Chain A
Amino acid sequence: MNPFDYSRPPDWQAAVNSVATDAQAKFLGGGTNLIDLMKMGVETPDRLVDINRLPLAQVEELPGNTGIRIGALVRNSDLAEHPLITARYPVLSEALLSGASPQLRNLATTGGNLLQRTRCYYFYDPAFPMCNKRNPGSGCGALEGYNRIHAILGQSEQCIATHPSDMCVALAMLDAVVRVQGPAGERAIPIANFHRLPGITPNVDTNLQTNELITAVDLPAIPFATRSHYLKVRDRASYAFALVSVAAALELENGMIKSARIALGGVAHKPWRAAKAEQALAGKKVEAAAFSAAADAELAAAKGYQYNSFKIELAKRAIVQALTTVAALP
């Protein structure tokens, strides 16, 4: 971990200013990912701007029943058990509680979770010489390496890393909006545009500018989100990243699917909104055949590698299982 200056600005304006004037500065939230990566030597900021005491830890209703605003510093554990979340967006609560451990969830923040970096072995350990994300132009070590946990959708020859978050998969399914403050003022980034696919710039994870601070995440009002579920498939029973995960919600009417929302985790460089599957389900009867067809449609474009091809079938099955579970909810 390289030496850095530490500061704790009194308000978000000062925080943004500190980071805006130093290209190597970083905001410090819960620290569970950033400090980890600094110990590994992957992140090397020269200044840490501690935002933990900024007043951004509220969960509140937006006016006129338009949704809920989650402060960027709401801890994962508090968010998961917040009554507004468990009542209206159970999928988010499930996703949060399936991630990490109780201790980590007590530290990790909503904003930090959005910025979690990949668990690709070749990225995480600088001993590996090749990683376009860590060291642009060095190549992708995973492409012909041990790529069991890697992407099957939306990847590029430059990078086949996956996004590791559970929370973000639920947010993607819920059409969350990320609110940020920067030197130029406030802006809102729909979650679909927040994370990026790797393309030729896998070193850039998100469309957040380095001098912008996440202040909140808004969840729109989605009445049928009460009928939602997060399903996570992993190698051990707990405390493990997803091989594949699914966040799903169904809007049902007279045994028919009026609309469906599905997002996948563990399969792509960003939380993967399964638009093709959603399309395939709209207007269909609630039945296993429709679920399978939707899963097939979404994974038709998937591509596996030496060690991760199983994820294609696993993702299909996980979609079917998640939809089956949601359809059976009261």
Chain B
Amino acid sequence: MANSNILGPARSRVDGPLKVTGYAKYAVEFEIPKCAYAWPVESNIAKGKITAIDIKAAQTSPGVLAVLTHQNASKMADAKGLFEEFAEAHGEDMSQGIRNEQRAPLADDEIHYAGQYVALVVAQTIEQARHAASLVRVSYAPELPILTMEDASKAKKPKKKQDETIQLRKGNVEPALANQNIIRLHETYSTPTETHNPIETSGTIAAWEGDDKLTVWDSTQFVKGVQSILARSYGLKIENVRVICPFVGGAFGCKGALWPHVLLATMAARATRVPVKFHLPRKAMFTGTGHRTPTSQTISLAATSNGKLQAIKHVTGTLTSPVGEFVEVCGARSTGVMYASETIRVEETVYPVNVATPTFMRAPGECPGVYALECALDELSYLLQMDPVELRLMNHAANHPIRDVPFSAKHLKEAYQLGAEKFGWSKRNPQTGQMRDGNLLVGWGMATATYPAHKMSAAAKAILHVDGRATVQCATHDLGTGAYTAFTQISSEQLGVPFEQVTFELGKSDYPFGPVAGGSNSTGTVGTAIHEVAQLLHRALAELAVKDARSPLHGSRPNDIAMVAPGRIALRKNPVTSDSFTDILQRAGRDSITVESELKDPEENEKLAFQSWGAHFCEVKIDSLLPRVQVTRVVSVMNCGRIVNAKTARSQIIGGVVMGIGMALTEETAYDPKTGLPAIANLADYHVPTNADVPPIEVYFVGEPDYAFNPIGARGMGEIGITGIAAAVANAVYHATGKRVRDLPITPDKLI
């Protein structure tokens, strides 16, 4: 049941007033005097070499300050070290920044994919830069590009990704899959290239002070990562590189790694000796900041006639670029955790092709992986003539199917139950094509959602002022996730300072370490750092108090003291003996006290498995003659531990569902089959859902705080909402029409 003890208060966003008045400053909106503007020139071939670049006309165009190409960039920007650093570094520690593209921009004359930057024009105004970029003439010696999985000559089967085994085997799936006496299914599901398309395109302002100090305002999910990579690239002291990003206009993964434009902006600023702003044109977001690779996933299932799974085999193929290192892990994190099957086999293969480098996009791997698995489960339910919810309950996994340890605070059964009840699932006619609303076909579908609980490392600084206010800082990020608000709440609760008196600051590399805002880790990770810094603060207050003859705690041992109520520390065993934060500071003659937690590896609990769960139920309506699918109702029930803020958490899940509706029905970055250029490279043709595509969405939370996972009890929820929803929609479409579409998106042409 909806459990009120997991739900925090529904507070409005602390950054709301700034956002609704237009005064929230995003990275490229900072006013930097004398700032120049950059505009890119991109390759329009996918493979080959640059034979000549004519930049004369561009250079002499009014307002132009510089034109960077592979021929002059290293020299002009004095950036030789940058290219060496990039040539060498592979598979580095994630805490030191993330690079999915292992090549410095303008490094040489090689073209690896269409859309690759081949020049950058810097001018006094945007208009001048954009025009001058059109005057750059590039000649190429093109070679035949490899653009698809079918044409790829090489294949990689990485054993691990970030220490996680991704090729899985539990028992032997083959005997069951070969057994003609049980129910079997063998189907291939495909998803297209999807592009994040946050409404704020990526952008960077770079400003040098001399040759050894660099400040960048960058739209990023990882200020510390950008700082680290830039410091190493230019051989700068880490403290001489500052990265500032108080607001991010959406990201969804495409601002997690450092992409070439950040380096180009810093190179251009170094070359021109003026600050340079490079705000990416929308088109560059389709090639310059990653995308979700297309996937081809073959699922084989075998089950007894009562629905007990005997074998699941999930074989995935994905793409990467010739200069990319990213692997989309589809099966290991969906099929590898979802059901209590006797045998499980997961294979992941990645093919390098001449297409821009992919990256993580909201629930990378899990999102397409759960789509394929949950469609296959739905297909199996029809073969078995069994209710789809019943089938899932039949195969529910209390323990991790591979590791065989219990899942912590798992309440998936309740999610199914509550979702079915709220949706009215019992009224579903199990036959396809039977439910109607006037002329419209009606379909009801459901699917499971899942996403792992990730843990990273963070530190925080807390400053308690004598007037009772507190400031807490961490170099973390608010991508629209509600981090400002959630961390203000957590700080208030952990420090014992009223919400209204807490200021939480983020988005600046000056603050203690925060990890990349990805993998739904931030609330738990930064929340844990806040928990730790709060302990330090209370300890520091206790140390002041025990030395102060006027304190009721005078002479006690600091170890015996803890916070007992907001604003007060006391003896653990005798809470009546207490002192207030402000009195302690006042008597000590202190304006404030500052403490900072240490960065340390997170504690891992190997006895449990940590994973979030959920269930989506949805209704679609389809005109049988002109079959565009309209989603008309969604109920989503989530089990992700404690929910810090009921209002922003609901919004996060809604957001995932909306993006999942886009994935199911409209989103696809199609490429020209000859040149490899994206044919779809703008927001008119890349169809993200509009307001009219989105129905009312009901969101519920079940379960309990997962304190076994972290002291905040939160497993994170930025991504789970998108997992499963595309399957729920596809399953509803099948229920409505009797037609199974196994390649997304389900556009009208596929239902004719």
Contact = CB atoms under 8 A, between A and B. Distances in A.
Interface string A61-79: 0000000000000000000
Contacts, number: 97
Given A238-B691, A238-B692, A145 B666 contact: no
B630 A121 contact: no
Given A2-B134, A235-B687, A145 B625 contact: no
B661 to A, nearest CB: 10
A236 B666 contact: yes
Interface stretch (B454-462, B600-608, B744-752): B744-752
B62, B672, B689, most chain A CB atoms within 10 A:
B672
A3 B679 contact: no
Contact of A314 (B134, B684, B748): B748
B748 A233 contact: yes
B626 A240 contact: no
Contacts of A233: 626, 628, 748
A295 to B, nearest CB: 11
B690 A238 contact: yes
Nearest to A312: B752
Contacts of B689: 236
Interface stretch (A20-28, A123-131, A174-182, A183-191): A123-131
A120 to B, nearest CB: 10
A236 B672 contact: no
Contacts of B692: 236-239
Given A1-B127, A3-B131, A320-B625, A239 B674 contact: no
B44 interface: yes
Given A1-B130, A121-B685, A235 B666 contact: yes
Nearest to A149: B685
A238 B630 CA distance: 11
Interface residues of A, number: 36
Contact of A243 (B672, B673, B748): B748
A284 interface: no
Interface in B723-752: 747-749, 752
B446 interface: no
Contact of A129 (B44, B630, B684, B691): B44
A121 B679 contact: yes
B673 A146 contact: yes
A314 B674 CA distance: 27
A127 B681 CA distance: 11
B536 interface: no
A322 B674 CA distance: 38
Interface string A188-219: 00000000000000000000000000000000
Contacts of A128: 44, 672, 675, 677
B670 A148 contact: yes
A258 interface: no
Contacts of A146: 670-673, 679
A131 B673 CA distance: 15
B680 interface: yes
B693 interface: yes
Interface string B676-714: 010111001101011111000000000000000000000
- The A interface is mostly helix, strand or loop, or mixed, namely loop
Contacts of B666: 235-236
Nearest to B44: A127
A237 B130 contact: no
A53 interface: no
Contacts of B677: 125, 127-128
A321 interface: yes
A157 interface: no
A128 B679 CA distance: 9
Interface string A214-240: 000000000000000001011111111
B42 interface: yes
B741 to A, nearest CB: 13
Contact of A39 (B62, B130, B670): B130
Interface string B404-445: 000000000000000000000000000000000000000000
A236 to B, nearest CB: 5
Interface string A147-169: 01000000000000000000000
Nearest to A311: B749
A141 B671 CA distance: 12
Given A314-B748, A317-B625, A145 B672 contact: yes
A272 interface: no
A299 to B, nearest CB: 13
A2 B626 contact: no
Nearest to A164: B684
B281 to A, nearest CB: 9
A329 B500 CA distance: 60
A6 interface: no
B693 A237 contact: yes
A44 to B, nearest CB: 9
A318 interface: yes
B690 A237 contact: yes
A235 B748 CA distance: 7
Contact of B672 (A119, A121, A314, A317): A121
B119 interface: no
Contacts of A2: 131, 134
B548 to A, nearest CB: 64
Given A121-B679, A146-B673, A148-B670, A236 B748 contact: no
Interface in A34-63: 39, 41
Interface in B599-645: 623, 625-626, 628, 630
Contacts of B752: 310, 313-314, 317
B748 to A, nearest CB: 6
Contacts of A5: none
Contacts of A314: 626, 748-749, 752
Nearest to A39: B130
A314 B747 CA distance: 12
A177 to B, nearest CB: 31
A241 interface: yes
Given A1-B131, A241-B684, A318-B626, A129 B693 contact: no
B681 A317 contact: no
B665 interface: yes
Nearest to A125: B681
A6 to B, nearest CB: 13
Contacts of A310: 748-749, 752
A236 B693 contact: yes
B726 to A, nearest CB: 15
A119 B684 contact: yes
A328 to B, nearest CB: 12
Contacts of A237: 628, 630, 690, 692-693
**Most chain B CB inside 10 Å of its own CB: which residue of A119, A148, A241, A320:** A148
A239 B748 CA distance: 16
Contacts of B693: 236-238
B625 A321 contact: yes
Nearest to A313: B752
Given A236-B665, A239-B690, A314-B752, A129 B675 contact: yes
A235 B680 contact: no
A121 B684 CA distance: 11
A2 B130 CA distance: 9
A121 B44 contact: no
Nearest to B670: A146
A128 B42 CA distance: 12
A238 B131 CA distance: 33
Interface of A: 1-3, 39, 41, 119, 121-122, 125, 127-129, 141, 144-146, 148, 231, 233-241, 243, 310-311, 313-314, 317-318, 320-321
14 contacts: A127-B114, A128-B44, A144-B673, A145-B672, A145-B673, A148-B670, A236-B687, A236-B692, A243-B748, A243-B749, A310-B752, A314-B626, A314-B752, A317-B752
Can you list the 5 inter-chain pairs with the closest CB atoms, starting with the nearest? A310-B749, A237-B692, A238-B692, A146-B679, A127-B44
